[in-house]
Amino acid sequence: MFREVVYLKPEEMPRSYYNVLADLPFKLDPPLDPKTGEPMRPEKLLRIFPEPLLEQEVSDKRFIPIPEPVLKEYAVYRPTPLVRAHFLEEYLGTRTQIYYKYEGLSPTGSHKTNTALAQAYYNKISGTKVLVTETGAGQWGSALSYAGAKFGLEVRVFMVKISYNQKPFRKVLMNLFDGNVVPSPSKLTQFGQMFDEGHPGTLGIAISEAIETVLEEQNAKYALGSVLNHVLLHQTIIGLELKEQLKKLEITPDMIVACHGGGSNFGGTILPFIPDVLDGKDIEIVAVEPESCPSLTKGEYRYDFGDSAGLTPMMKMYTLGKDFVPPAIHAGGLRYHGAAPIVSKLLYEKLISAAAVSQDEVFEAGKLFAKVEGIVPAPESAHAIAYVIKEAKKNEKKTIVFTLSGHGYFDLNAYVSSLRGNFRNF
Ligand SMILES: *Cc1c(COP(=O)(O)O)cnc(C)c1O
């Protein structure tokens, strides 16, 4: 029997993003100005974000058209396939049917390109010349570098120093797309100069360096790869395609699963299904995070800063606290203290649930998936796989769909340690 794969034709690619804010029966709590504690006026953010993205951040329109130039760029790797994990099912000997939506086919190997291209486009038409950002593991930095090259913007990336040293090939990838990348803390900003040479860096410091650079420079804007409403909005292209593909299979999934760092691949996958859940359809939706950075499962639901330095507006979200320092787990993309406000609200309202898995389970799942399905998953994505495997082992007759947010071919170092068995089980 051949492998079941659902491809969409290029012309079947969605033409609009889906904005869940139009359909929620409750309102999100507004971001607060860190200085006054009052709701943030969007105009105040115009210095760091372009107007169209700020409009999307608070829009209540249900569908927001995807601009033609962005659709054209999506066509390089979209629509992405929905694949039946036959070999995994066979290996587990389970009655559960497992499907995955594969986002690793993008030019930089993860779903992050979906929002990077949109953000680069909206910045370009707003007159931005330079995009500045931070990156941890390097996936966001490479996606934004690629998008900047496509839309003619200079991209500067502050990369957490320890990752910069551990992941040289991510840096090469950024350079290949003409992105400039420096290890953070750097000597380029006043904030960076406060730290000594040997400091390993944190995402919080890198964000502060990026924002300082933007505030110092005309025509420079800041770009964020997760958490914000407009980022999740752009990622809904994943869930919209998935819905079409499931329709072709005449399947309603019993469970949808995705890994969760800041919430963008999870939100992008599941938000288009929220109207179905509100209509009473019985779909269990699960966000999977690391046990060592358990924002959703162990965090508090309250206002907190998005960064460690306290420069960003305060957002109502599940958080471990802005000063939480997660252990150096191999899934760098999941080392965030907070969670997307939209995902947080859905969890608070019990429309979705969350689960945490251990690093050992994650790499066992990643290695197994590589062997049976033929794709080395990103360590982040392997969190979703680990959870799905546990569910499938219950041997229930049901259908699970998960998002494989990226491949792990730039993360083989993480697998090296796993193969040597020298993990600490956090
Ligand atoms: C960045 C990243 C994540 C985590 O970020 P989210 O915003 O939660 O999606 C997950 N998987 C991959 C492959 C990533 O690059």
pLDDT at position 419 is 83
Q: Please tell me the distance between residue 1's alpha carbon and the centre of ligand 1 in angstroms.
A: 33
Distances, alpha carbon 282 to alpha carbons 70, 84, 253, 276, 364, in Å: 34, 21, 9, 8, 30
379: preceding bond cis by omega (within 30 degrees): no
Closest CA to 114 of 136, 144, 135: 144
Closest residue CA from atom 5 of ligand 1: 261
The residue to mutate among 105, 113, 227, 265, having the most atoms of ligand 1 within 8 angstroms of its beta carbon, is 265
Structure tokens at 190: 């006043």
Q: Report which residue type is found at 65.
A: P
Break the chain into its structural domains and give their ranges: 5-12+68-109+229-420
Using CA atoms, how far apart are residues 400 and 258, in angstroms rounded to an integer? 11
- CA nearest ligand 1 atom 2, residue: 333
| Rounded Cα gap, residues 153 and 120, in angstroms | 7
269 CB less than 6 Å from ligand 1?
no
Give residue 35 CA to ligand 1 midpoint distance, Å.
Answer: 30
User: Is there a contact between 139 and 110 (Cβ–Cβ < 8 Å)?
Assistant: yes
- Tell me how far CA of residue 346 lies from CA of 271, 293, 405, in angstroms: 10, 19, 21
- CB of 259 shorter than 6 A to ligand 1: yes
**CATH classification code of 5-12+68-109+229-420:** 3.40.50.1100
Distance of CA 163 to CAs 134, 141, 231, Å?
A: 12, 12, 23
Rounded to a whole number, what is the distance in angstroms from the first to the last CA of the chain?
41
Q: Compute mean pLDDT per 10 residues along the chain, 426 residues long, and list them.
A: 89 97 96 91 89 96 98 98 98 98 98 98 98 94 98 97 88 96 95 90 87 93 96 98 97 97 97 97 97 95 87 93 79 83 98 97 97 97 98 98 96 85 59
The reply to whether ligand 1 has any atom less than 6 angstroms from the CB of 123 is no
CA-closest residue to ligand 1 atom 10:
380
Sign of CA dihedral 166, 364, 399, 285: negative
> For position 426, what pLDDT does the model report?
54
Supply the residue whose CA is at minimum distance from atom 14 of ligand 1.
Answer: 333
Ligand 1 pocket check for 114: Cβ under 6 Å:
no
Helix-helix angle 113-125:51-58, to 10 degrees: 120
Q: What whole-number distance in Å separates Cα of residue 174 and Cα of residue 143?
A: 8
Looking at residue 333, what is its pLDDT? 76
Does the pTM exceed 0.85? yes
CA distance 155 to 4: 40
pLDDT at 296: 97
Write down the H helix ranges in 202-249: 203-216, 229-249
| Neighbouring C-alpha atoms within 13 Å toward the C-beta of 419 | 7
Please tell me the distance between residue 110's alpha carbon and the centre of ligand 1 in angstroms: 8
Rounded to whole angstroms, the Cα distance separating 145 from 225 reads 12
Place of tokens 């105009």: 43
> Does ligand 1 come within 6 angstroms of the Cβ of 405?
yes
